Amino acid sequence: MIPFDIQLRPGRPVSEQVVFAVKRAVAKGVLRPGDAFPSVRSLGKDLRINPNTAQKIVAALTQEGVLEIEPGIGARVANPRHTHVAEKEQRLREQLEVALIEARLLGMDSERIRALMDEISQNLNPEEDHDRNSED
Amino acid sequence: MIPFDIQLRPGRPVSEQVVFAVKRAVAKGVLRPGDAFPSVRSLGKDLRINPNTAQKIVAALTQEGVLEIEPGIGARVANPRHTHVAEKEQRLREQLEVALIEARLLGMDSERIRALMDEISQNLNPEEDHDRNSED
Amino acid sequence: MIPFDIQLRPGRPVSEQVVFAVKRAVAKGVLRPGDAFPSVRSLGKDLRINPNTAQKIVAALTQEGVLEIEPGIGARVANPRHTHVAEKEQRLREQLEVALIEARLLGMDSERIRALMDEISQNLNPEEDHDRNSED
Amino acid sequence: MIPFDIQLRPGRPVSEQVVFAVKRAVAKGVLRPGDAFPSVRSLGKDLRINPNTAQKIVAALTQEGVLEIEPGIGARVANPRHTHVAEKEQRLREQLEVALIEARLLGMDSERIRALMDEISQNLNPEEDHDRNSED
DNA sequence: GTGGTCTAGACCACG
DNA sequence: GTGGTCTAGACCACC
């Protein structure tokens, strides 16, 4: 079972969407370091996607440091290792620049943009309400 | 002549990159409403791309409301019309969510992210009046 | 002087727009049969368009039976002659079909469409209020 | 195979005509949400047009929300999403105004126009369940 | 297999 | 001159 829902939207690569969904789950705390991650097989079955694609997803997440593979055991969510920080921060800057430019072309001023950021940020936060079990 | 430089990076669609570069120029005020935009042919020649690709770029920018076409005359930067606002705002939210998630996975807290946003935002600001000579 | 305002919108052929504007003026009664129509020269000058284009406009309107040319005198709005009825009605049907299809794809039902038609139709009507001067 | 026939008329953009034909098919219910849509290549082959043109057609229909693309899988008729509603409704009004003006210049009164609309509308309706054999 | 992008060059309509 | 469309065929990413 996957502890989060993935809504595939047509028009973009499936693998990309799933990778992002996992990242979001980790960012929100729905998935936490140490949590088991579905095997390639069950992932493909659950999401109704090509096993080939499932394999690629796990590989990508591993490569980015989000997952860790224990050969013969399975995959689990990795401790934050902040790998490839430099290049990731570079990509992040670009993403933010793209978003900011689009926002401006939409006629938003800085205040409006900041408010939007805060709103999205808070939507990302609420992993605090339901019960938790901490063992870090 | 194009009043801004475009650095094509291999591996990504050329047209996409140029479209974005133009948007950035408009957002920065380097290109302003009413300014003439290079013809399809000259754009293609300047950027060393196929006229067809240049055509696609102009079409995309027109469709998004960034450019205005006068058939037989040429293209120019449009007044902000804010077309397709709903759809664009939705896409913007998604872009921002993606960026925020990446930032968190990088270990950034809200304050750090906000600072980064401000930095990028200010980099976008400098719409000085004097003609541009860039050699920083 | 032209007794109606024409707002040129970028992205479509100028001639087409002017032709349509004249038709609308006639349909609304702003221009009436017998009214003088500007010469090619003054039309081009008033609208700030290429004389070549102005010429084409007059020719098109004449060909459609909206204008009549009195050689050496000038052009005037023709009496409704309903020329080319068959082919025009055919074109009209196609236009209406296109519009209806777009409306449906927009999710409008017949009632909504009819209401929209009525609204537009009434917007076309009010040529009765202001004073008139007849010199046919 | 394409479940509807497209009669290309010379002199007008092929892509435009095909796009419209697909829209009509959707409006009539000949194509229904979820139905598979021919691949770019097969569409090009069936219609005897360049794959590139076929690609443009699919792209346009996707952009308008009529089709949905799953990369690597294929295209299918989308559920009505009613995107870009504001812009489309504006365009629709203009289309209707053009048609109404033409109708008036043809000497049609409101009643005649309405009757014509109803006729076309009903021609658009027949979404019978039985498979289609057209030899009317 | 699928869609997406790019190049190369032709033709047309518009002004 | 301008933009717009089409053809022909190549390459890539995705599944």
The pLDDT tens digits of the residues spanning D32-87 come to 999 999 999 999 999 999 999 999 999 999 999 999 999 899 999 999 999 999 99
Looking at the predicted structure, is the pLDDT value of residue D131 above 80?
A: no
Q: Which of A24, A89, A110 sits opposite B121 (nearest CB)?
A: A110
Across the interface, whether the CB atoms of A13 and D78 are under 8 A apart is answered no
pLDDT tens for each residue of B3-56:
778 888 888 899 999 999 999 999 999 999 999 999 999 999 999 999 999 999
Beta bridge partners of B37: B75
Residues of A near D (Cβ–Cβ under 8 Å) read: 10-14
Of C83, C100, C75, the closest CA to residue C22 belongs to C75
Q: Give the count of beta carbons closer than 10 Å to the beta carbon of residue C91.
A: 14
Query: What confidence tens digit (pLDDT) does each residue in A12-33 have?
Result: 899 999 999 999 999 999 999 9
Answer yes or no: is C26 CB < 7 A from strand E: no
> What is the predicted pLDDT for the residue at B135?
43
C1' of nucleotide E1: residue with nearest CA: D72
Which pLDDT score, from 0 to 100, does residue D127 have? 54
Strand E atom within 7 Å of D39 CB:
yes
At C125, the amino acid letter reads N
Q: Which chains touch A (3 or more CB pairs under 8 A)?
A: B, D
Residue in chain D closest to C23 (alpha carbons) equals: D101
For residue A22, give the H/E element and its range: helix A14-28
- Nearest CA distance, B59 vs chain D (angstrom): 12
DSSP C95: H
- Full 3-state SS string of D8-27: CCCCCCHHHHHHHHHHHHHH
- In A, minimum Cα distance to B117 occurs at A96
Subunits next to C (3 or more Cβ pairs <8 Å) are: B, D
The CA-based dihedral angle spanning residues B46, B47, B51, B55, taken in that order and rounded to the nearest 10 degrees: -110
Check contact C-A (3+ Cβ pairs < 8 Å): no
Instruction: Give the start-to-end residue ranges of the domains of chain C.
Output: 14-77, 85-135
Contact D92 C105 (CB under 8 A): no
Measuring alpha carbon to C1', the residue closest to nucleotide E8 is B50
CATH topology of domain B14-77: Arc Repressor Mutant, subunit A (1.10.10)
Chain D contacts of B84, Cβ < 8 Å? 84, 87
D87·B86 Cβ contact <8 A: no
| Confidence at residue B127, expressed as pLDDT on a 0 to 100 scale | 54
Token pair 């909504």 is found at C112
> Rounded to a whole number, what is the distance in Å from the CA of D115 to chain C's nearest CA?
11
The 10 Å Cβ neighbour count of residue C32 is 17
CA→C1' distance for D86 and E9 (Å):
39
CA distances from D93 to B43, B134, C112, C115, C123 (A): 35, 48, 12, 12, 11
Return the nearest residue to F1, CA–C1'. Answer: B72
**For residue A129, what pLDDT is reported?**
52
Confirm whether pTM is higher than 0.85: yes
Q: Please name the residue of chain D whose CA is at the shortest distance from the CA of residue A13.
A: D71
Q: For residue C26, what is the enclosing H or E element?
A: helix C14-28
For residue range B71-119, list pLDDT tens digits in order.
889 999 999 999 999 999 999 999 999 999 999 999 999 999 999 999 9
Find the Å distance, CA of residue C39 to C1' of nucleotide E15.
19
Q: Which residues of D touch A (CB under 8 A)?
A: 62, 68-72, 78
Chain B residue with CA closest to A100: the answer is B121
Task: Using the structure, give the distance in angstroms from the CA atom of B132 to the C1' atom of F1, rounded to a whole number.
Answer: 29
Chains that touch D (3 or more CB pairs under 8 A): A, B, C
Cα distance between residue B83 and residue B86, in whole Å: 9
Assess whether pLDDT exceeds 60 at residue C131.
Answer: no
Q: Over 70: is that where the pLDDT of D129 sits? A: no
Distance CA C54, CA C91 (A): 24
Predicted confidence at residue A128, as pLDDT, reads 59
The vertex-B63 CA angle with D8 and C119, nearest 5°, equals 80
Q: Which helix (H) or strand (E) holds A69?
A: strand A67-70
- Evaluate if the CB of B93 falls below 7 Å from strand F: no
Determine the pLDDT at residue A30. 93
Split at pLDDT 50, 70, 90, the class of C108 is: very high
- Measured between beta carbons, the chain B residues lying within 8 angstroms of C11 are 62, 68-71
Check residue C107 and report its DSSP letter.
T
b/e burial code for range B57-92 (CB count within 10 A of at least 16 → b):
bbebbbebbbbbbeeeebbbbbeeeebbeeebbeeb
Per-residue confidence (pLDDT) for residue B133, from 0 to 100: 47
Per-residue model confidence as pLDDT tens digits over A60-87: 999 999 999 999 899 999 999 888 899 8
pLDDT, tens digit (0-9, with 9 covering 90-100), for C49-98: 999 999 999 999 999 999 999 998 999 999 998 888 998 999 999 999 99
pLDDT tens digit sequence for A40-65: 999 999 999 999 999 999 999 999 99
